[in-house]
């Protein structure tokens, strides 16, 4: 693995950080309202080229390699304080666009990818169900083929971006097929009859629960062949776990710089608080966690870029980076003392976003279980 960045990669990373600082932090309080979706910021990201980063140029995307995409998403996390927006970007890029690239028909790719990349459409994925939780592919939503369409019945929840989503990739099971071969994936457009919003979950990135009740989906909207749902999910998850925490690296870098600056200027008992070992040790630990997380994320992205298996590396990157982000967020608040607990400081927002990272795309417990299984236990 080459550790030095090319001139182009450095310039892209700097440009993305500058873009995020200048464009993506307006009206943060209003964007935190339940169900709010930052459409203006989303479209600004599309104009900058974020949504198209990992999509091949021949399909209308930016054609960036995975490691370059990770670097740009890291810069976005550094410059943008709205991690809900970044979560929505990740959800579309890794969970919908790349499956379309890998499994979509030319007609499906032409119908969706250009408009997803341009910001005209917003995409999401619906896997989780009541009672399934971390057993993501314990799918109870049923799909029954009837002539030229499927009837889907079931409930999906915690769908990132769903309040604004124009197309949702829904996973459902055909009970007539055995095991994992029963699961297929379907592209469902917003406004499809009997695809109904049940409730809105109040989170940093807007999420919905939806119900499908005899929802008719044309057979041409199935993504990949029948029974390919598990392969589609697994393929997307390896990229997602390798790359989704890139923005956390940027957030931890920003936290570290903020804490160093504060520790140098804030005085107590006649000296800067950075001179006290209790503060200095926390700053040193923040640096260690950041650099270790960065190496794990870069390694997983590099392996994915080379087309090499990266299941263990992706799980390790996701596990370590999320837990490192939580601890660094706690250290950041404690270094700032009482001020760190105020909304004015903006540090508590980082902590809420960091805690969420230990749950989505597989909980920390799931990552540990996966790693121990791959180690032969």
In which residue are the tokens 């041409």 written?
Answer: 220
- Return d(Cα 283, Cα 267) in angstroms, integer: 16
pLDDT in tens, 189-212: 989 999 987 766 555 556 778 899
Across-strand partners of 169?
125, 187
Q: Is-contact 166 177, C-beta < 8 A?
A: no
Q: Tell me, what's the pLDDT at 160? A: 77
Mean of pLDDT over the chain: 90
Q: Is-contact 52 123, C-beta < 8 A?
A: no
Q: Is the pLDDT of residue 283 over 90?
A: yes
Q: Is-contact 264 302, C-beta < 8 A?
A: no
Q: Is the pLDDT of residue 305 over 90?
A: no
Q: Tell me, what's the pLDDT at 107? A: 97
More confident residue, 200 or 337: 337
Continuous H helices in the chain: 7-23, 28-31, 39-48, 66-79, 83-92, 98-103, 106-118, 229-243, 246-265, 277-305, 311-335, 347-357, 364-374
- Return d(Cα 274, Cα 262) in angstroms, integer: 8
In which residue are the tokens 């990740």 written?
Answer: 90
pLDDT in tens, 132-146: 765 556 788 999 999
Q: Tell me, what's the pLDDT at 102? A: 95
Q: Tell me, what's the pLDDT at 364? A: 93
Q: Tell me, what's the pLDDT at 333? A: 96
**Residue 294: partners with Cβ closer than 8 Å, 6 or more residues away:** 249
- For residue 200, the surrounding DSSP H or E stretch is strand 195-201
Q: Give 180's DSSP letter.
A: G
Q: What percent of the chain has pLDDT over 70?
A: 92
Q: Tell me, what's the pLDDT at 4? A: 81
Mean pLDDT, residues 163-172? 89
Q: Calculate the alpha carbon distances from 265 to 78, 270, 271, 290, 334 in Å.
A: 22, 11, 9, 23, 16
Q: Give 24's DSSP letter.
A: S
Q: Which of 259, 301, 249 is nearest to 280 (CA)?
A: 259
**Residue 206: partners with Cβ closer than 8 Å, 6 or more residues away:** 34, 35, 36, 37, 84, 88, 160, 161, 162, 163, 164, 200
Within the chain, what is the greatest distance between any pair of CA atoms? 80
What is the torsional sign of CA 94, 114, 13, 103? positive
Tell me if residue 240 is catalytic. yes
pLDDT in tens, 217-270: 999 999 999 999 999 998 888 778 878 889 999 999 999 999 999 999 999 999
Active-site residue, selected from the candidate residues 240, 257, 313, 323: 240
Could you give all domains of the chain from N- to C-terminal order, each with its CATH number?
7-122 (1.10.540.10), 125-226 (2.40.110.10), 245-374 (1.20.140.10)
Q: Which of 57, 93, 68, 56 is nearest to 239 (CA)?
A: 93
- Return d(Cα 86, Cα 45) in angstroms, integer: 10
What is the torsional sign of CA 113, 118, 121, 124? positive
pLDDT in tens, 99-116: 999 999 999 999 999 999
């Amino acid at each position: 693995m080459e550790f030095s960045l090319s001139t182009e990669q450095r310039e892209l990373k700097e440009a993305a950080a500058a873009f995020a600082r200048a464009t993506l932090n307006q009206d943060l309080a209003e964007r935190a309202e339940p169900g709010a979706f930052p459409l203006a910021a989303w479209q600004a990201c599309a104009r900058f080229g974020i949504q198209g980063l990992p999509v091949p140029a021949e399909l209308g995307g930016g054609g960036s390699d995975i490691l370059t995409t990770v670097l740009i998403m890291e810069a976005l996390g550094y410059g943008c304080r709205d991690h809900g927006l970044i979560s929505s970007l990740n959800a579309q890029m890794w969970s919908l666009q790349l499956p379309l690239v890998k499994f979509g028909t030319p007609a499906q790719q032409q119908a969706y990818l250009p408009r997803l990349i341009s910001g005209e459409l917003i995409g999401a994925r619906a896997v989780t169900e009541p009672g399934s939780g971390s057993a993501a592919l314990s799918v109870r939503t049923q799909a029954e083929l009837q002539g030229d369409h499927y009837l889907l019945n079931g409930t999906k929840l915690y769908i990132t971006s769903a309040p604004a989503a124009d197309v949702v990739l829904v996973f459902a099971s055909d009970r007539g097929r055995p095991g994992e071969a029963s699961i297929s994936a379907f592209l469902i457009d917003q406004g499809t009859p009997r695809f109904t919003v049940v409730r809105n979950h109040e989170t940093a990135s807007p999420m919905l629960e939806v119900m499908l009740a005899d929802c008719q989906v044309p057979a041409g909207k199935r993504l990949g062949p029948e029974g390919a749902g598990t392969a589609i999910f697994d393929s997307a998850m390896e990229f997602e776990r390798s790359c989704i925490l890139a923005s956390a690296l940027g957030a931890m870098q920003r936290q570290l710089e903020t804490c160093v600056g504060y520790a140098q200027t804030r005085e107590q008992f006649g000296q800067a608080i950075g001179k006290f070992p209790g503060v200095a040790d926390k700053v040193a630990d923040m640096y260690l966690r950041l650099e270790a997380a960065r190496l794990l994320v870069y390694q997983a992205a590099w392996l994915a870029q080379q087309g090499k298996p990266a299941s263990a590396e992706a799980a390790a990157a996701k596990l370590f980076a999320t837990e490192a982000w939580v601890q660094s967020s706690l250290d950041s608040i404690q270094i700032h003392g009482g001020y760190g607990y105020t909304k004015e400081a903006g540090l508590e927002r980082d902590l809420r976003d960091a805690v969420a990272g230990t749950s989505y795309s597989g909980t920390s417990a799931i990552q540990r279980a996966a790693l121990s299984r791959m180690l032969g236990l």
